[in-house]
Structure 1
Amino acid sequence: MGFLLLVLSGKSYCTPYPLELIVKKKINKLSSSQFEAFDLSGNLLLKVDGGVWNYNLKRVLLDPSGFPILTLRGKALAFRHKWKAHAGESTHDNSNILFSVKQSHPLQIKKQINIYLANKFKKKEPDFLITGAYTSLSFKVYEGRRLIAEVKHSFTLESFCKGKEKYRVKVYPEVDYAFIVALLVILDESDTP
């Protein structure tokens, strides 16, 4: 199918083959962290900048040259985690929303997050679904019943204390890897105390 997320920038972030990524998170200061996504050869594919532990939950997904691809905005202090993705580096304009992310239920044993494409926020069935356990940041992404990506969190106490974390991401063919990295950032931010 290929999720058409980044047609706006004129670039495609889908491949016809499975793609494995290493996503590294580094906390620079108490109010800033950065994600970087690399292929297995070590080539930088995407960067994500933004603050941590602040009221204004905003992240900007950038291509390797620093061009803004999309802006992720979270709703702070919400009972359920809610995020919206806007094209480019946008403000609060609702006309360019690409997708929204919402926790399916505030009290759940197993993590389940719903993703709705633009203009489909009111429908009952999500376009994509994230499932995972609350004991780790590892999760799977589904489009209907079809598995489209898997994320495994490589947690060690030492790396956590140094402010560095790592994820291994497997993206299936014709799936937008920038979309999957954006979801990873949203889940990481939602799970940060």
Structure 2
Amino acid sequence: MPKNKKTEWQVGDPPISVVGDQFCNPYPMELMVKRKVINFSKDYYQVVDPSGNILLQIDGQAWGFNRKRVMRDPAGFTVLTMRQKGIRWKRKWEVHGGESKDKEDLLFTVQQSSAMSLKTSVDVFLAENSNIKKSSTCDFHASGGYSNISFKVFKSDALIAGVGVTHKFTWGSYCKGKYNFSVSVNPEVDYAFIIALLVMVDDIENLC
């Protein structure tokens, strides 16, 4: 976090690289995330830039207690793997680089802040701070989701990314699993990290 307290991450602030430096750009990014369910069994997310170029793809099973989401680059190579950890009152995910499950490849852990809140929110702990039971301070915090119309990611008090639903919310489109997000990523912020958080928060919200 910059020394001067700000409300938003800006050009000139230090890079926030969680997944990889290649996903950090020195300028703001506007992305579109398209979600759909394939054959009622598989979630699929496609991330495109304003020109329609595919930047990332995420897929995984739509149902089950130990869900897994795999993020791939346009060439099909695995960037990271998100795994839900069992049945919990507050949902928890572990995210590893590539297809690994090894502790040394852990990138970050995500845990639902509260199971009773009307707005979905999660706390994010980087690998070096991933012992949630011993740590009282998260590295990032995200809240919102499809039914809340917006989604925001913060590092301390600074907004690093914001997401909006690109059309009016309807329970019909929500339950069909087909809807879009517009994503605004601030300069020098790892957009693969932001997309991974969006996918996990969206998964927590998916009741249909």
Number of aligned residue pairs: give it.
189
Which segments of 5 or more consecutive residues in structure 2 lack a partner in the other structure?
1-13
Q: Is the 8 A contact 2:145 2:198 kept in 1?
A: no
Query: Secondary structure of 2:34's partner?
Result: strand
Q: Is the 8 A contact 2:120 2:201 kept in 1?
A: no
In structure 1, C-alpha distance between the alignment counterparts of 2:42 and 2:147, rounded to whole Å: 24
Give 2:25's aligned residue: 15
In structure 1, C-alpha distance between the alignment counterparts of 2:96 and 2:37, rounded to whole Å: 24
Shift of 1:85: 0.5
In structure 2, C-alpha distance between the alignment counterparts of 1:147 and 1:187, rounded to whole Å: 17
Q: TM-score, normalised by structure 2?
A: 0.84
Q: Is the 8 A contact 1:137 1:187 kept in 2?
A: no
Query: Secondary structure of 2:136's partner?
Result: coil
Q: Is the 8 A contact 1:109 1:134 kept in 2?
A: no
Alignment match of 2:117 (pick from 103, 108, 118): 108
Alignment of 1:65 with 2:75, yes or no, is yes
Q: Is the 8 A contact 1:137 1:188 kept in 2?
A: no
Distance 1:137 1:69, change over 3 A: farther
Runs ≥4 in structure 1, deviation > 3 angstroms? 154-163
Q: TM-score, normalised by structure 1?
A: 0.90
Q: Give the % identical residues.
A: 43
Give 1:36's aligned residue: 46
Alignment match of 1:93 (pick from 74, 77, 102): 102
Distance 1:148 1:26, change over 3 A: same
Per-residue CA distance 1:43-65 (angstroms, 9 max, x = gap): 10000011111232100110010
In structure 2, C-alpha distance between the alignment counterparts of 1:172 and 1:150, rounded to whole Å: 8
Shift of 1:18: 0.5
In structure 2, C-alpha distance between the alignment counterparts of 1:133 and 1:38, rounded to whole Å: 19
Q: Quick check: which one's strand share is greater?
A: 1
Shift of 1:134: 8.5
